Every structure is written in structure tokens, then in C-alpha cells.
Amino acid sequence: MSDDLKAELAQLKKQVAELSKAQDYIDIWKLQSRYAHLYFMLRNSEIPSLFAQKTPGISMDIEDAGIYEGMKGVKRFWNTVLNEERYHSPGWLAIHMTCNPIIEINKDGTKAKGVWFSHGSVSGMRNGKMDCMSCLGKYDMDYVKEDGEWKFFRLAYRIAYMYPLDSNWVEEPITGSIAGLPDNTPDKPAANYLPYSRYRINIFPPPPPEPYKD
């Protein structure tokens, strides 16, 4: 094989690898967006299907709810704590958009990690009446490719604030608590629950993910 042909073949292999990585990036973005749409439409019972079904070690950690481990824990959360029947009521609305992603994928295209900003709007019961709130947080994610398809390995939502619109995030940064719901039975306490506070320097973890060392 001539040197020119070898160089052309190497260039083609590089382009194929780059295209494969770009496709992985798009597929992960679609997975995260599907989650946001299902949550907005109160199709919460479908969310466990977005998690890896065969890979051990999956978990989720939303706000102050605590850490739910394994498929049993994930299903327990979405079918009891945030179940469709409880929230499928007149006036309810909850949307958490996902944007500004930073996604890092390993060389083999089998693992990935990502951080997303999430602005949202919520309407629900507060002080005995329907009220509206604004929220901001980050999704702190790990993904795994299972049978050729990207799935959630770890889902975490780090809330910065959720305040009622007749107030502000300085005076009332957090309205409500998942930890206080009667069906909330996590496997471990919440990690990195650091919402906004006027009394400290706020760091709002996590930082953008670093590239894989491979």
C-alpha cells in the first residue's frame, strides 16, 4: 500500500470516528430531551425506561429527595413519590427545560457524562391555594451505552432555587421539599444539596465535566 493511500485511509478512519462521536452527542441530547418532555406531560411512569436496564449501579438524586439506587429504587420514586396520579390534577404544571449542555464521551463511545442548565416553571398547591413558581438548577448526568443505545446511568438534579413569583430567590429561594413527602423513602441521603443562600458564597455544583483520560 502506498504512503498516499495509507494517509488517506488514516484520514477516513479519523473522520468516521469523529462522525460516530457526533452521533453519540446527538443521541445523548435526544435522550435528555425525551426525559424533559415526558416529565412535562406527566408521563412519569415511562421515565424508568430511559435508564440502563442491564447495567448495575444506576441511581438518581433529585433536589433533597435522597439517592434512589437500582431499577427498583428508580421505579419506586417515579411510581410513588412523583407518581402521575398524585400530580394529574387541575392546574398542575411542571416543566424543567434542558439547555447549554457540556457532554464528554469516552474514546470507546460506551460512557458519557454531562451537565445541563435547567430553567423551569411550576404551578402547584402552596399555602392551600394554586400558585406559580420559577426554578433554576443543573442536571448532573452519567450515561452508558447499552445494546447500542444511550441510557441514563445516573440522574441528578441540583436545584439552585424555586421561588414563588410573588416573592424572589433572595427572600424565599426554596419552596417545598421532596424529602418531606410521605412516600419518599430513599436508599441514601441527598448529596450536594446546596440551593441558593444569601448567607454564603454560592458555588452551584457541579462544574463542567472533564474529558475522559482515555
187-214 pLDDT, tens digit each: 999 999 999 999 999 999 999 999 999 8
Q: Which of 155, 154, 156, 158 is nearest to 174 (CA)?
A: 158
List helix spans (H) across the chain. 3-40, 70-76, 84-87
33-60 pLDDT, tens digit each: 999 999 999 999 999 999 999 999 999 9
- What is the rounded CA–CA span in Å between residue 200 and residue 197? 6
Instruction: Give the residue with greater pLDDT, 64 vs 7.
Output: 64
Q: Is residue 37 part of a domain?
A: yes
DSSP letter string over 146-158? ETTEEEEEEEEEE
Q: Which of 164, 32, 21, 153 is nearest to 98 (CA)?
A: 32
For residues 155-168, average pLDDT? 96
Please report the pLDDT score of residue 37 as a whole number: 97
Please report the pLDDT score of residue 4 as a whole number: 66
Q: Is residue 173 part of a domain?
A: no
Q: Is residue 193 part of a domain?
A: no
Instruction: Give the residue with greater pLDDT, 86 vs 62.
Output: 62
Q: Is residue 209 part of a domain?
A: no
106-145 pLDDT, tens digit each: 999 999 999 999 999 999 878 888 899 999 999 999 999 9
Range of the domain at 69: 3-164
Q: Enter the pTM of the model.
A: 0.92
- What is the rounded CA–CA span in Å between residue 133 and residue 174? 10
Q: How many CB atoms lie within 10 A of CB 18?
A: 10
Q: Is residue 177 part of a domain?
A: no
Q: Is residue 16 part of a domain?
A: yes
Q: Is residue 184 part of a domain?
A: no
The domain that holds 14 is classified in CATH as 3.10.450.50
Asked whether residue 6 carries a pLDDT value surpassing 80, the answer given is no
DSSP letter string over 37-81? HHHHTT-GGGGGGGB-SSSTT-EEEETTS-EEEHHHHHHHIIIII
- Count of domains for the chain: 1
Cis, peptide link before residue 206, omega less than 30° from 0: yes
For residues 154-180, average pLDDT? 95
Please report the pLDDT score of residue 144 as a whole number: 98
The C-alpha R_g of the chain, in whole angstroms, comes to 20
Helix (H, G, I), strand (E, B) or coil at 85: helix
Plot region of 111 (φ>0 → left; ψ -120 to 50 → alpha; else → beta): beta
Please report the pLDDT score of residue 124 as a whole number: 83
Q: Is residue 26 part of a domain?
A: yes
